[in-house]
Chains A and B, each alone.
Chain A
Amino acid sequence: MKWLGSRAAFAVFVAVLAVVPQVAPAFWVTLGNYIGLYSIVALGLVLLTGVAGQTSFGQAAFVGLGAYTTAYLTTKYGTSPWLALVIGMVITAAVALFLGFITLRMKGHYLPLATIAWGISLFYVFGNLEMLGGHTGMSGIPALSFAGFELKSENRYYYLIWTITLASLWATNNLLDSRPGRAIRALKGRLEMAEAFGVDAARLKIVVFVYAALLACISGWLYAHLQRFVNPTPFFITQGIEYLFMAVVGGAGSVWGAVLGATVITLLKQVLQDVLPWMFGRSGNFELIVFGILMILLLQFARDGLWPWIERILPRRTPPPVPPAEPLPARERATRAGPLLEVRKARKQFGGLVAVNDLSFEIRPGEILGLIGPNGAGKSTTFSLISGAAALTSGDIRFRGESIGGEPPYEIARRGIGRTFQHVKLIPQMTVLDNVALGAYLRGGSGIVRAALALDGAEETRIKAEAARAIARVGLTEHTFDAAGSLPLGKQRIVEIARALAADPMLLLLDEPAAGLRFLEKQELAALLRSLKSDGMTVLLVEHDMDFVMGLTDRLVVMDFGEKLAEGQPADIQRNAAVLEAYLGSVV
């Protein structure tokens, strides 16, 4: 991925950071400290809001949790600040897990509302508990010392803050370019797809929320030992909202947006607090007005924030070709007698409407089976029943002799059924390579921690190589590093097939793959499916387009009104009177 846009730009950035305390006046060092602290919190929100599509207004409360835990433990019990950091992180993780658990299974707006309530509650708890010093706060927090080296001066502390900030940036960037990272990027609007490839979306959302909360907690711990004093005010919901603004202003799609946003908002606030009262001739909260208006304008005119503009002027690194690597372990494909997939009296009812009425058919290994029928015949519902997207009302579906009826989509994917979507579900801004690599999600095992610490290198190389092989298999190698959304629809459909292939499936379910394609694109698709078949792949094709299906499939199952109307060779189906009547109306 674009690890830094450019290494040179990154080197300059670090050099400037390192020099600031040596040359700039103390005021700038203080600002730099705050920008670092805010960046860490905003970084969590970039991941949560920009990448995963969730949001929180309560990050300030997590900052407060980190700050208050260390303040209390170090002043009352003389605990080591480093131990207090660990304890604070444990508490924060527990709170975030709980909040995430109760809100993230529901629609997206419950988490932000819950975090508003939580942010306000914690503020009043801090302010009203005598043991935490009430609204006056707690002072006398010890300075940090590291290997016998006291970090008392702001200049020294500056280096600690920015070391941790850069480390968080590094870890988050690693995370985004990894197996769990690809899944996180699918959380925003591509839940169904992610789950079909084995991602436990509900769990992953909670993990991302906890990750963001922990970053906030670390920032709070740093803050407490920088100020050596805490009171409730900086942890109120207003500050929580400002953190979110930082992420949005900077650009919630990139880790660097967090630093940019924190810098812009911090500097802007400084300037506004000096300039506005002078302009309006009296004191007031004018920066609130300006912030609010700027925010609304930004969302109306530049929803992706400021970072994309900076990124455009940075030199781009051409990605190196994907290095070859040992293939991931392939699925055991012992041949067994009998059909690959059996649909037995499958039934789906929506209230009084019977969409699929006791349908039975089977798919034999190595064949291309077409499931066709007029509009509303129940083809798509049948597809959903097989892929696990919809639950059976009664009946059963068996794959390689084992029942998969009622299993969730990821379980069905795990057993070796790959699928595509009728409406293409790629992550448009992600490269074709990363999109296809998501297909191999279940063939890897690296979690968030390994990914963030870049310990997943070997597995990641193999996943990428596997994805590159799948891309080559479908003939799209030239597009490997293009954004998936930039390809024409026909190619996007092929990318979807490559993604399904990356999961190493035994059965491929294709939902209307020819819909919306031009003639040549259809021919290319048909050629690809034939070549997959010659490699031993079994395919179920739900289709609309008779011409496309007739020349390609080995057998056809025709549905009408939720029932099987006919089954057989394409040539026989073409002469079947019942089928002709269903499609063309009665010929009497």
Chain B
Amino acid sequence: MDLSIAALLAQDGITNGAIYALLALALVLVFTVTRIVWIPAGEFVAWGTLTLAGLQTGVAPGTLKVLVGMAVIAGLMEAWGCIRRGQAGRLPRRLAAWTGVPMVVAALVWWLAPMQLPLPVQVLLTLVTMTTLGPLLYRVAYQPLAEASVLVLLIVSVALHFTLVGLGLWFFGAEGSRTPAFSSTSFTLGGVNISVQSLLVVASSLALIGALALFFGRTLYGKALRATAVNRAGARLVGISPDFAGALTFALAALLCGFSGVLIGPITTVYYDSGFLVGLKGFVGAIIGGLSSYPIAAAGALLVGLIESFSSFWASAFKEVIVFTLIIPVLLWRSLTTTHHEEDE
């Protein structure tokens, strides 16, 4: 390997790592606020790519059908909940939020899809669709079990992953898709060829991470989520609804994952079931951060990207083996430095 290959691999690794970092952050966010190990994050990545690919060809993406279906189910669940608790007065507002808004989003995207608008608008439509889908998923699958153990929530996650993969095959078909790069130009810096696309990926990841930092540091909602992550019962006592915190978390996480999907689309062909492995690579990063530290999780994800890139050069057949075996030394280290276990029921 000479220096130029190394530089190329490093560039690839950092680009992929930046995408995994977004995922890792989403996973840490979801886990700290809701205690959900969010295995289906990967499906949101794949659906992000496939939604954008659908818009590219001027077809209303299958995601919209899922959106509408989930909105109907969420509406029914809200209606049932309100009636059972005798709070029928609250129903219109709830229905507007849980069914109305997603329907409007779906209708809008449906209407705009055939117009083949410029790429940035399509990206925006993709992100809006994915962000709307996140809270719906939480409402329908997780919220009824919000107080269950981490283990039960984890099994729900896995079941949801199955469902979403099945739906993905149904709505997107078995063919893979790629989305166009934002830019195909490149330039040379110090003898190393650098593609503008890579720079854009890294820059937009950083921008999104910065925006998140601002959200958590400066806004009331961001602080509410942080409070919930630190102490759920305490946050509830000061008036932060756990349901709201969960929904908001899933909106943010879906945005992050959907955006990863948009970024990964030009790099690799994405199939309906590609999300799983991508999501798990985000998990490896998140586990390096102990599912609790954002900066370490992001750094871990970057490391995953680099290791993946270099191992694809040396032992491409064992690329996945090497990446997933990476968590063994990480867990070993965490295990040896953790002095006692906690009671988790």
Collect the chain B residues with CB atoms within 8 Å of residue A124's CB: 317-318, 320-321
Check B151–A107 contact: CB distance below 8 A. no
Check A289–B166 contact: CB distance below 8 A. yes
Annotate A217-254 by CB proximity to B: 1 below 8 A, 0 otherwise: 00000000000000000000000010011001000000
**Stretch of B6-14, B114-122, B277-285 with 4 or more beta carbons under 8 angstroms from chain A:** B277-285
Collect the chain A residues with CB atoms within 8 Å of residue B162's CB: 241, 288-289, 291-292, 295
Answer yes or no: A125 CB below 8 A from chain B CBs.
yes
Among A105, A110, A284, A288: residue with most chain B CB under 10 A: A288
Given A109-B291, A288-B163, A300 contacting B327 (CB threshold 8 A): no
Annotate B320-334 by CB proximity to A: 1 below 8 A, 0 otherwise: 110011011001101
Check A191–B343 contact: CB distance below 8 A. yes
Collect the chain B residues with CB atoms within 8 Å of residue A105's CB: 335, 338, 341
Answer yes or no: A299 CB below 8 A from chain B CBs.
yes
Given A241-B158, A300-B144, A289 contacting B167 (CB threshold 8 A): yes
Q: List 14 A-B contacts (CB under 8 A).
A: A102-B328, A106-B334, A108-B149, A108-B150, A110-B334, A112-B154, A113-B283, A125-B321, A202-B341, A286-B166, A292-B164, A292-B166, A293-B159, A296-B156
Collect the chain A residues with CB atoms within 8 Å of residue B328's CB: 102, 114, 117
Q: How far is the CA of A107 from the CA of B167 in the complex (A)?
A: 32
B159 touches which of A54, A116, A285, A299 (Cβ 8 Å)? A299
Answer yes or no: B165 CB below 8 A from chain A CBs.
yes
Q: How far is the CA of A385 from the CA of B345 in the complex (A)?
A: 24
Answer yes or no: A553 CB below 8 A from chain B CBs.
no
| Further pairs besides A105-B341, A110-B287: 12, Cβ < 8 Å | A106-B334, A109-B291, A110-B331, A121-B321, A121-B324, A125-B321, A189-B345, A192-B343, A244-B158, A287-B166, A288-B162, A289-B162
Chain A min CB distance to B8 (Å)? 24
- From residue 297 to 317 of chain A, which have CB atoms closer than 8 A to chain B? 299-300, 303
Binding site for B on A (CB under 8 A): 49, 53-55, 57, 101-103, 105-110, 112-114, 116-118, 120-121, 124-125, 128, 188-189, 191-192, 201-202, 241, 244-245, 248, 280, 284-293, 295-296, 299-300, 303
- From residue 134 to 167 of chain B, which have CB atoms closer than 8 A to chain A? 141, 144-145, 148-152, 154-156, 158-167
Q: How far is the CA of A314 from the CA of B141 in the complex (A)?
A: 33
Q: How far is the CA of A288 from the CA of B160 in the complex (A)?
A: 10
Answer yes or no: B230 CB below 8 A from chain A CBs.
no
Chain A min CB distance to B85 (Å)? 17
Given A117-B284, A117-B325, A244 contacting B165 (CB threshold 8 A): no
Q: How far is the CA of A124 from the CA of B159 in the complex (A)?
A: 23
Tell me if A's interface is mostly helix, strand, loop or mixed: helix
| Chain A minimum-CB-distance residue to B163 | A292
| Chain B minimum-CB-distance residue to A128 | B317
Answer yes or no: B2 CB below 8 A from chain A CBs.
no
In the A-B complex, list the 7 residue pairs whose CB atoms are closest, starting with the nearest.
A292-B163, A189-B345, A288-B166, A289-B166, A295-B159, A292-B162, A117-B324
Check B170–A295 contact: CB distance below 8 A. no
Collect the chain B residues with CB atoms within 8 Å of residue A110's CB: 287, 331, 334
Q: How far is the CA of A56 from the CA of B57 in the complex (A)?
A: 42
Collect the chain B residues with CB atoms within 8 Å of residue A109's CB: 37, 150-151, 154, 291
Given A53-B151, A102-B335, A113-B283, A107 contacting B342 (CB threshold 8 A): yes
Given A291-B159, A293-B163, A107 contacting B170 (CB threshold 8 A): no
Check A116–B165 contact: CB distance below 8 A. no
Collect the chain B residues with CB atoms within 8 Å of residue A113's CB: 37, 283, 287, 327
Check B344–A108 contact: CB distance below 8 A. yes
Q: How far is the CA of A254 from the CA of B9 in the complex (A)?
A: 52
Chain A min CB distance to B316 (Å)? 10
A289 touches which of B158, B163, B318 (Cβ 8 Å)? B163
Q: How far is the CA of A108 from the CA of B284 in the complex (A)?
A: 16
Check B170–A284 contact: CB distance below 8 A. yes
Given A284-B166, A299-B145, A117 contacting B159 (CB threshold 8 A): no
Check B151–A116 contact: CB distance below 8 A. no
Chain B min CB distance to A261 (Å)? 13
